[in-house]
Amino acid sequence: LGLVTVLWAYLRNSAFKKDGVDYHVSADLTGQANHLAATIGADIVKQKMAENNGGYKAVNFGYTDDRVYSKLTSDNPIDLVRYQLANCY
């Protein structure tokens, strides 16, 4: 047996709350956190279930394509979690 890496990929930034909406649980922003966790080789990634989407646009953070919101995801919570998972490759 070897060591196991468990990484909590939770977002913590006051700038992710904008206009009364909490984007800490946004599928696109948490998906990026999941991607970083997978990139550094975490064996288990713990993440909160996505409740909304559009964090990149709302907080003007990073670069994204509009097709992410129109073709890859919907407002359905299952689709949002699928998008989070896809970011882990």
- Which one of the listed residues 17, 18, 46, 48 is annotated catalytic? 46
CA distance 34 to 43: 12
Question: 46 an active-site residue?
Answer: yes
CA dihedral 69, 70, 71, 72 (to 10 degrees): 10
Residue type, 45: V
Active-site residues, by number, are: 46
